[in-house]
């Protein structure tokens, strides 16, 4: 089991990257599929499961409710029986994706308890859209000492209009509506590939969902579901991280199993920057013949450029030719890693939800700190374009989302050593 301990990633410049790297299953899909297993008893087998810490947390959460789980490389097996629909605060606070059990448990058991950090204030916390959507289907929520408690006399289909295409709210409402009576329509739904993966998993279980991957999802409620096996889609954020690495270090790499069709917009942006990217037989081929050119980038819900790509894109812009303006439209304040890039010699100024990135020829090695999964990965990738040694001090964030970032980059010819401290 991967445990998040403090790790120092020590990076020294090396030549261009060369070779093939296998892209694993998507963190933001597998966690939701695992949450969905609570909807029917039986034994589920998930393939292409990444060996990341967040999967361990979700296993523990399911076990705390009565499930049994077992893992072998790339596979997780989950047996659901006699569940108690209570997700304890101590586990939920470790991982926001734990909130994905809310809809499934409520839909199946007509009651749920979910610990959430700062639970008393849940009306103003960013699961308000999850709760409002579930209320439209007939749920009632009350605040508890450490979270929220939900009940219903039985969910009934209805029309849910999301004020914003929230990934988590779409998933919770989608899962809850599968066992509701009648038809549910989710308008302004999120359309991310992970939502389509969840819908196809649920349909295998016996759900009747259409329209996933578009902004209108329709669900015809069913009475019962059954356990299934499923292969998780590849991780598009991991893929984009490695593309940025090629853009910074140069070289030519095949991202085995990566799905170009899930990443068309970010591939287009990176293409404008000078990366050559094309779909391969089973993956994506990428090469960086020259120094990158700057472009402007705005993060948007899918099919726009995902906010999770942004730290790696900013790292890429930091060493590109010219000036790029990056606008964050999803998460206020998701620019904490910029100070760390500046410590490495980047020329970046932030103003509200904008960052103005003036590319420099080379960064300089420094000791910097990672504040979240994507920021940590971006700093490691940025260090590939730095003179001298960089140490990225990471308090267990990177292993939450990347099975072996240092090993993968090293196998491609980079010089990255991960030291547990
Ligand atoms: N929001 C609300 N109220 C809600 C729900 C969301 O105000 O009820 C706001 C959020 O605060 C945020 C915006 O809406 O400003 C978007 O949030 P969304 O619900 O779409 O995000 P999420 O479901 O919490 C998932 C991914 C994130 C990714 C976002 C956006 C998982 C586990 N997480 O989060 O991934 O950034 O979608 O694409 O699927 C990561 O993997 O590192 C990560 C943070």
Model's pTM, two decimal places?
Answer: 0.96
Quick check: 125 pLDDT over 70?
Answer: no
Whether the CB-CB separation of 76 and 144 falls below 8 Å is answered with no
Q: Looking at residue 348, what is its pLDDT?
A: 98
Which residues does residue 295 pair with via DSSP β-bridges, in sequence order?
Answer: none
Quick check: 4 pLDDT over 70?
Answer: no
The tens digit of pLDDT for each residue in 44-66 reads 999 999 999 999 999 999 999 99
Index of the ligand 1 atom closest to the CA of residue 165 = 20
Nearest to 392 by CA among 6, 94, 5: 6
Distance, C-alpha 244 to centroid of its chain? 17
Known catalytic residues?
120
Give the pLDDT band (50/70/90) at residue 121.
very low
Which residues does residue 390 pair with via DSSP β-bridges, in sequence order?
Answer: 11
The tens digit of pLDDT for each residue in 82-96 reads 999 999 999 998 898
Index of the ligand 1 atom closest to the CA of residue 28 = 39
Distance 417 CA to ligand 1 centre (A): 31
Q: Extract the tokens encoding 361.
A: 């020829």
Distance 351 CA to ligand 1 centre (A): 22
Quick check: 303 pLDDT over 80?
Answer: yes
Counting ligand 1 atoms within 8 A of each CB, the residue from 92, 136, 166 with the most, and so the one to mutate, is: 166
Quick check: 223 pLDDT over 70?
Answer: yes
Cβ(168) to ligand 1 under 6 A? yes
Q: Looking at residue 202, what is its pLDDT?
A: 98
Q: Looking at residue 114, what is its pLDDT?
A: 96
User: Average pLDDT of 128-148?
Assistant: 95
The tens digit of pLDDT for each residue in 17-48 reads 999 999 999 999 999 999 999 999 999 999 99
The tens digit of pLDDT for each residue in 271-283 reads 999 999 999 889 9
What is the dotted CATH code of the domain comprising 6-24+234-420?
3.65.10.10
Quick check: 315 pLDDT over 70?
Answer: yes
Cβ burial, residue 330 (10 Å; 0-12/13-18/19+): middle
Q: Looking at residue 2, what is its pLDDT?
A: 53
Cβ(126) to ligand 1 under 6 A? yes
User: Average pLDDT of 262-271?
Assistant: 98
User: Average pLDDT of 249-268?
Assistant: 98
User: Average pLDDT of 68-89?
Assistant: 97
**Concatenated DSSP letters of 111-152:** EEEEE-TTGGGGGGSTTHHHHHHHHHTT-EEEEETTEEEEE-
Whether the CB-CB separation of 378 and 392 falls below 8 Å is answered with no
Whether the CB-CB separation of 76 and 82 falls below 8 Å is answered with no
One fold for 6-24+234-420 and 27-231: yes
User: Average pLDDT of 233-252?
Assistant: 98
Closest residue (by CA) to atom 14 of ligand 1?
Answer: 166
Closest residue (by CA) to atom 44 of ligand 1?
Answer: 308
Whether the CB-CB separation of 175 and 103 falls below 8 Å is answered with yes
Phi, psi angles (nearest 5°) of residue 55: -65, -35
DSSP-based three-state secondary structure for 29: helix
In the 8-state DSSP scheme, what is residue 11? Answer: E
Q: Looking at residue 57, what is its pLDDT?
A: 95
Quick check: 1 pLDDT over 80?
Answer: no
User: Average pLDDT of 111-136?
Assistant: 78
Kindly state the helix (H) or strand (E) to which residue 94 belongs, with its residue range: none
CA distance 26 to 48: 8
**HSE-up (13 A, CA, CB side) for residue 11:** 36
Whether the CB-CB separation of 98 and 58 falls below 8 Å is answered with yes
Distance 94 CA to ligand 1 centre (A): 15
Q: Looking at residue 3, what is its pLDDT?
A: 62
Q: Extract the tokens encoding 274.
A: 């000078």
Quick check: 401 pLDDT over 90?
Answer: yes
Give the pLDDT band (50/70/90) at residue 116.
confident
Quick check: 336 pLDDT over 90?
Answer: no
Distance 167 CA to ligand 1 centre (A): 6
Share of the chain above pLDDT 70, in %: 97
Cβ(106) to ligand 1 under 6 A? no
Q: Looking at residue 317, what is its pLDDT?
A: 98
Which sequence spans correspond to the domains of the chain?
A: 6-24+234-420, 27-231
Cβ burial, residue 15 (10 Å; 0-12/13-18/19+): exposed
Average pLDDT in the chain = 95
Quick check: 175 pLDDT over 60?
Answer: yes
Counting ligand 1 atoms within 8 A of each CB, the residue from 133, 167, 233, 333 with the most, and so the one to mutate, is: 167
CATH architecture of 27-231: Alpha-beta prism (3.65)
């Amino acid at each position: 089991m991967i445990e998040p301990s403090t790790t120092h990633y020590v990076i020294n410049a090396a030549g261009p990257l060369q070779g093939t790297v296998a892209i694993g299953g998507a963190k933001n899909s597998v966690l939701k599929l695992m949450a969905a297993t609570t909807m029917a008893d039986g034994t589920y087998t998930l393939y292409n499961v990444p060996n990341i810490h967040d999967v361990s947390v979700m296993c523990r959460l399911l076990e705390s409710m009565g499930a049994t789980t077992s893992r072998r490389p790339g596979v997780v097996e989950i047996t659901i029986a006699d569940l108690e629909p209570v997700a304890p605060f101590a586990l939920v606070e470790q991982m926001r994706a734990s909130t994905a059990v809310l809809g499934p448990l409520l839909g199946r058991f007509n009651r749920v308890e979910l610990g959430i950090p700062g639970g008393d204030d849940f009306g103003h916390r960013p699961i308000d859209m999850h709760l409002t959507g579930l209320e439209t289907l007939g749920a009632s929520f009350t605040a508890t000492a450490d979270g929220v408690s939900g009940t219903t006399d039985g969910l009934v289909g209805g029309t849910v209009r999301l004020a914003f295409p929230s990934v988590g709210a779409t998933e919770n409402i989608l899962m809850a509506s599968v066992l509701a009576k009648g038809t549910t329509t989710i308008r302004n739904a999120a359309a991310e590939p992970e939502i389509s993966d969840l819908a196809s998993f649920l349909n295998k279980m016996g759900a009747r969902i259409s329209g996933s991957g578009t902004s209108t999802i329709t669900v015809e409620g069913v009475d019962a579901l059954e356990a299934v096996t499923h292969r998780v889609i590849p991780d598009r954020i991991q893929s984009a991280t490695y593309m940025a690495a090629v853009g910074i270090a140069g070289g030519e790499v095949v991202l085995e199993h990566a799905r170009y069709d899930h990443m068309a917009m970010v591939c287009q942006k990176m293409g404008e920057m000078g990366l050559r990217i094309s779909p391969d037989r089973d993956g994506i081929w990428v090469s960086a013949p020259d120094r990158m050119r700057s472009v402007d980038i705005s993060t948007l819900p899918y099919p726009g450029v995902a906010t999770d790509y942004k730290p790696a894109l900013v790292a890429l812009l930091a060493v590109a030719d010219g000036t790029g303006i990056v606008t964050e439209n999803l998460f206020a304040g998701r620019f904490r890693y910029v100070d760390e890039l500046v410590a490495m010699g980047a020329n970046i100024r932030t103003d509200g939800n904008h960052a103005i990135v003036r590319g420099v020829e080379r960064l300089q090695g420094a000791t910097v700190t990672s504040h979240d999964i994507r920021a940590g990965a971006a700093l490691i990738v940025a260090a590939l374009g730095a003179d001298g040694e960089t140490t990225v001090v990471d308090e267990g964030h990177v292993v939450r989302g990347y099975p072996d970032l240092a090993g993968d980059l090293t196998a491609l010819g980079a010089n990255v050593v991960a030291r547990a401290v």
